[in-house]
Structures are given as structure tokens and as C-alpha cells.
Amino acid sequence: MARNVGRIFSGFRCSGSLPFGKTQLKTRCPRLLLRTTPERTVVQALSSIFSHKSRDFSLPNSSWGEEMMRLYNHYSSQSGEAAEGQEDQGEQWTRLPSYNRSLKYATGGVYLSKIIQSKARLFTRNIRDTGAAFEYVLFFRRDKQRCVCIFQAGHLLEGPPGHVHGGAIATMIDTVTGTHASLLSAPVMTANLNINYRSPIPLGSTVLVESTMDKEEGKKTFLSCRVTSTDGSKLHTEAAALFVSINVSHLLRG
């Protein structure tokens, strides 16, 4: 088995497909023969680890519950892509992709340092186990006046027994309103977030986090946000948010 794994790694070293910084190894090697299922399994796993393609966390996974999937399909069916070539019969929504690294996907490919580049992770996407914490997907209207998030709260977000921590709720409100404000006048930073908690959210449940643009005044964007049950019958949390447009170079200078 050790010899087999050695051959597998040897094949990887010679494949010329692994990135090392900004360069790649380009060498010719003998053909790698994978005769057994375990060998193929290891290769597939390693290929996944070293893949250039990053995971989009806004796509469904096995942890999503029935209500999460129902709402995802509902908004997807009303997406601009689904309605392309057809006359707009009402609200059209666009799904926003979500990755676990902000720096890599920043406009212009901004990097701060190799250490930060390799270790930095978006706060809401830094837990590997699917379904354990923040499971969510955002859609925004084509006119950008509204943004809606389908949020499923995992077991690691507990605050009061059996219910979601208030800080986790605030995180999702900031994430949704901040994303919405960025669509209106990117880049932005949170200047003020005023939250009123109305009723607790049970762990494992799915809720809607809806952001609405109230007004814009120069560099300031004002939004309101509501966290409700998926049928809208219960108000869990409401908030008012203020975001201010910034020059991203200020952040890079520290």
C-alpha cells in the first residue's frame, strides 16, 4: 500500500498540474497506472484538495433541509437567468455566489500578504462541516432595491438553549445588508447597525433575512432588514443599517 501511495504522489509531482505560488511544474513523467480502487480514491481526494476550482457555498448541499430547498427552488425559478428571453412578469431575482475567501475574489485580485492570502477565511464560511453553522444563499432583485437571504441555522450557533445566538443573527443581518449595500455602491463598510430582537429562532430552522434599500445620501446608504419565518407570520428580528462608501486602498494600508 505504501508503494502504491508513493507512486500516486510521484504521479502528482510529475503531472504539471499543481500550483506553487505563481509558477507551475511542467515535467514529463512515465504514465501513472492506477490498478486498484483505493489508488483511484486517493487520487480523486488529492485532486479535490489541489483543485483550482473553488466551492460556491451558495449552492445546495446535503445538509439543506426541505424548507431551505423549497425556497431556493422558488427564487431560482424567478431568476433572471430562468426568465431570459421572456417578458418580465414581476419580480426577477439573481443568485449571488458565495466563497470562503474574500481577498482572492476582491476586485482586481487584491492580496495583502502570502500568510493572509493562505489563511484568511470569510467568517460565515470558515466551518468545514456542512450544516453545522451558517447555511445561506442570497438573491437580489434586478432593480437592486431588495435582497433576500434564505438562512438555515446550524447547531454550532446556539445561544439560549435550543435557539440561535443573538450574535449569529446580527452576523447574518450585517452580511445581508452589507452585501446589498455593496451592490448599490461598492465598496462599503458598516457604520451603524441597530437591532431589535423580537422572538428567538430555533436551531436548525430556516428563516428569511430580507433587506430593503431606504435611501442614499452621498456616500451613505440606509437599509432596513427583517428576519422572519419563511411564511412571514412571525417576526424574529428587525434592524436598521447604515453603510458608508470607502476607498478600498485605506483598508490595504491598514
What pLDDT shows up at residue 121?
86
Give the pTM. Answer: 0.73
What pLDDT shows up at residue 73?
97
Q: Where in the chain is the domain with CATH 3.10.129.10?
A: 66-253
What pLDDT shows up at residue 185?
85
Rg over alpha carbons for the chain, rounded to the nearest Å, is 22
Q: Please check the confidence at residue 109 and state whether its pLDDT lies above 80.
A: no
What pLDDT shows up at residue 47?
46
d(CA 150, CA 95): 11
Please, what is the average pLDDT of the chain?
79
Contact 207, 137 (CB under 8 A): no
Q: Please check the confidence at residue 251 and state whether its pLDDT lies above 90.
A: no
The answer as to CATH 2.160.20.10 being correct for domain 66-253 is no
DSSP bridge pairs for 221: 216, 243
Q: What is the DSSP letter of 220?
A: E
Cell of 117: 492570502
d(CA 46, CA 157): 31
What pLDDT shows up at residue 229?
98
The catalytic residue positions are 174
Rounded mean pLDDT, 155-175 = 98
d(CA 169, CA 202): 12
Confidence of residue 34 (pLDDT cuts 50, 70, 90): very low
For the segment 196-244, what is each residue's pLDDT rounded down to a tens digit? 999 999 999 999 999 999 999 999 999 999 999 999 999 999 999 999 9
Q: Please check the confidence at residue 89 and state whether its pLDDT lies above 80.
A: no
Least Cα distance to 148 among 200, 203, 207, 102 occurs for 207
Which residues contact residue 59 at a Cβ distance below 8 angstroms, ignoring those fewer than 6 apart?
Answer: 137
For the stretch 22-29, contacts whose Cβ atoms lie closer than 8 Å and that sit 24 or more positions apart, written own/partner, are none
User: Sign of dihedral through CA atoms 164, 165, 168, 169?
Assistant: positive
